[in-house]
Chains A and B, each alone.
Chain A
Amino acid sequence: MILHPGILALLVGSLVTLLLMLQACWLGIQILFRWDSSSCSEFQLQLERKTWLVSTLLNYALGFQILSGVFYLATLEDIHRLFVGAMCATGALNANLVGWLVLVVKVILFFAASLWVVINRLDQRTEETPLVRPKYLLLLLITPLVACDLYLQFSYFSGLRPEIITSCCGSLFSEQGESVASELAGMPVRQAMTMFFTSFGVVFSLLLACLVSHAALLRSLLFISAVVHFFSALAAVVSFISLYIYQLPSHHCPFDMLQGHYAYIGYPLYAALFVSTLFALLPGLCHPLRRHPGLEREIIRREKRWLISALAGMLIFLLISVWPMLFSPFVLLGY
């Protein structure tokens, strides 16, 4: 195991998050089984007060979790120089493959925990709080994920051996390999561009349409297309956005752009993608909740803000990825 300050901080942060979640879970179980909104007993009053504690615990835990995701990437970028053959975070991840799992868990946690916080906000704004039970069931599902995150992180970092020779992004994201990453990297640029810009256009126009219409179908379509767009955007980053950022026709790494000599451009790029996807998912997800009159009012009030945030996020992502295509001297197409 490498005793690196960043690793220590990550493990401490994840441990604290898990403790918060366990506490929230314990309270959640009590609430789940003994909640009775029609009751006026003192116990029910105490439970209602405890819901505040749970939501505060969760808000902090989510905040820590998002920061820890960013921090995880930054730490990977820093420790890669300990490994022979590693040139960026890819090398550090390949040094112990569990690292990739940690990354996936962190992405899932980001979406799951953000959705929980949004649903909780909605619920707390209404008088009758109709979502108490589903909310706490969801909480019981998120907590094992947080535990999983801590466990995987620990096994990743403790399994790192600096003497291992790892392969860097040049070999993983090469066009000749047989992995998924190589498939993405080897995808013809025109095809990848068509896919990316089509899905972008669909999501963008659906967002605009949702702004003017209240149709349920549009929201379901938006949900599906946002999920598709999330993956097509990630594929686009590997297959051609990275090429323009590095101005190299053969370098497909999605992590190098997090480094200082590319002006840390990867951070705003990924942040815009994640935020826009999250907000584009919300209208579709919350639509079934409109059955409750109290929630419907709240959802209508907030939906416009979600749509505009999603639009802004998408535009930022587009701007960052298209800028080097238009203004850098690097020419990829045209030959």
Chain B
Amino acid sequence: MTRQLKILEHTLASLLRRKAKNLSLLVVYAFTIATLGSVLFLTHALKTEASDSLAAAPELVVQRLAAGRNELIPVAYAERIRALPGVEKVTPRVWGYYYDALVKANFTLMGTAGEAEQIELLEGHLPSNPDECAVGSGVAAIFGAEIGDRLVLIDSHEQNRLYKISGLFSTASSLLTNDLILLPETTLREFFAIDEQRATDLAVEIYNQREVKTLAKKIRFHLPDTRPITRSEILHTYTTIFNWRSGMMLAVTLAALIAFCILAWDKATGISSEEKREIGILKALGWETADVLAIKFWEGLAISLTAFLLGIVAAWLHVFVLGAPALVPILKGWSVIFPDFPLTARVDLLQLLTLAFLTIVPYLACTLIPAWKTAVTDPEQVMRN
């Protein structure tokens, strides 16, 4: 133990003596780790963000399909679903997308029951009059609007409609509300010309989590033209998409990793004559090949861990402080207005392990043979040269 510690001490001292050479390697190494780390951190943060926001989503959403396309669902279906045992509540929802040609952005328009409730994360109150609306911070920002201002939207009959902004969602909820415009349900029905008997979809709440699958099957059995979507299916889709995206990004960055390995190999092979002499002298003094290999092992580990630490700190700063400007356009993929939300800084052990496995293992592997070549040098030959 003390022997290994002494060897480590010697290694660190000799690394410090060759600062310039090791520093350049360290910078490239740390940069590679930071790139891979940013991809991992960002996708993990997006994944948790998505699953957190879906936590409040209904367990089951029932849509209607006609000729393979989404159709409006008859409100009468809600009654039939409510009659199934285990169903707590069925709420017909009215909502839709709206493209505003003026600001070139898509908004989500959603209907509410029309009670002037005061809810958390909302400045002002929910729309209570037919001509009131509540908007997300992204919508407010794009129009430069505030509470009390009027919003002009064009309805499905090409008529201009004026709505007074009664509430503004705070930025904390912007992942969910950024592009949202909330209108009273009756107003929205007029706006989209949806009759009273139909809704966009039905949100189903279920008493027992374990019955969700069974109820989805039952609904499909009784109402064959519907498509029930469970919350866990949406969650799976999100996780799969983000895994796929980060996997793709990682696969692309692997090319950079290979380039880095070639650099590391090159650096490790081209040891200076001074370093060669140092090892020659050590061996002449009675160091064994095993000891020199131990030096090389500690050297690799010291460089790797330093670079790893620097790399993950850089990735952390890039993703959670700067908001990942280099990766967001590729990985996030949102609609036209991007919610500018701060990512919750969360890193788990598995990501660090993944990162270590992807970077340190190839590095150590490609410095192995050069290290051995150095270790078996003949002291007599080195000193004669």
Contact = CB atoms under 8 A, between A and B. Distances in A.
Interface in A18-68: 19-20, 23, 49, 52-53, 56-57, 60, 64, 67-68
A12 interface: yes
A5 B40 contact: yes
Contacts of A84: 232, 236
A68 B356 CA distance: 11
A13 interface: yes
B247 A68 contact: no
A81 to B, nearest CB: 6
Given A3-B244, A8-B247, A8-B250, A52 B289 contact: yes
Interface stretch (A70-78, A98-106, A241-249, A283-291): A70-78
A124 interface: yes
A2 interface: yes
Contacts of A67: 357
Interface in B175-233: 232
Contacts of B357: 9-10, 12-13, 67-68, 71
Interface in A187-207: none
Given A3-B243, A53-B372, A82-B239, A60 B364 contact: yes
B57 interface: no
B293 A52 contact: yes
B296 to A, nearest CB: 9
Query: Chain B interface mostly helix, strand, loop or mixed?
Result: helix
A3 B372 contact: no
Given A2-B243, A3-B248, A82-B240, A60 B362 contact: no
A13 B248 CA distance: 18
A51 to B, nearest CB: 10
B247 A71 contact: no
B67 interface: no
A75 B232 contact: no
Chain B interface bracket (under 10, 10 to 19, 20 to 34, 35 or more): 35 or more
B361 interface: yes
A81 B50 CA distance: 14
A56 B243 contact: no
Nearest to B248: A3
B321 interface: no
Contacts of B40: 5
B136 to A, nearest CB: 29
A20 B240 contact: no
A60 B293 CA distance: 12
Of A12, A20, A77, A162, chain B has the most CB atoms within 10 Å of the CB of A12
Contacts of B113: none
Given A8-B250, A16-B365, A60-B364, A74 B353 contact: yes
A56 B371 contact: yes
B369 interface: yes
B137 interface: no
B358 interface: yes
A57 B239 CA distance: 38
B156 interface: no
B353 A71 contact: yes
B372 A13 contact: no
A284 to B, nearest CB: 27
B367 to A, nearest CB: 10
A124 B289 CA distance: 11
A158 to B, nearest CB: 13
A302 interface: no
Given A13-B357, A74-B350, A56 B293 contact: yes
Nearest to B372: A53
B354 A9 contact: yes
Contacts of A13: 357-358, 361
Contacts of A9: 353-355, 357-358
A4 interface: yes
Contacts of A124: 290
Contacts of B376: 49, 52-53
B353 A20 contact: no
A4 B247 contact: yes
Nearest to B358: A9
A206 B375 CA distance: 42
Contacts of A74: 349-350, 353
B311 to A, nearest CB: 15
A115 B198 CA distance: 71
Contacts of A20: 365, 368
Contacts of B235: 81
Contact of B369 (A4, A49, A53): A53
A9 B353 CA distance: 9
A305 B375 CA distance: 29
A112 B355 CA distance: 27
A78 B350 contact: yes
Contacts of A324: none
A71 B361 CA distance: 13
Contacts of A19: 365
Given A4-B247, A5-B250, A12 B358 contact: yes
B243 A52 contact: no
A64 B364 CA distance: 10
B340 to A, nearest CB: 26
A60 B300 CA distance: 12
Interface in B332-385: 349-351, 353-355, 357-358, 361-362, 364-365, 368-369, 371-372, 375-376
B35 interface: no
Given A49-B376, A56-B368, A60-B368, A2 B361 contact: no
Given A52-B289, A53-B369, A56-B371, A2 B353 contact: no
A6 interface: yes
Interface of A: 2-10, 12-13, 16, 19-20, 23, 49, 52-53, 56-57, 60, 64, 67-68, 71, 74-75, 77-78, 81-82, 84, 124, 162
12 contacts: A5-B43, A5-B247, A5-B358, A6-B354, A10-B357, A52-B290, A56-B293, A56-B371, A64-B361, A71-B354, A81-B236, A162-B236
Q: Which 9 A-B pairs have the closest CB atoms?
A: A3-B247, A9-B357, A49-B376, A53-B372, A9-B354, A4-B243, A9-B358, A16-B365, A3-B244
Given A53-B376, A64-B361, A75-B350, 4 more contacts: A3-B243, A49-B376, A60-B364, A74-B353
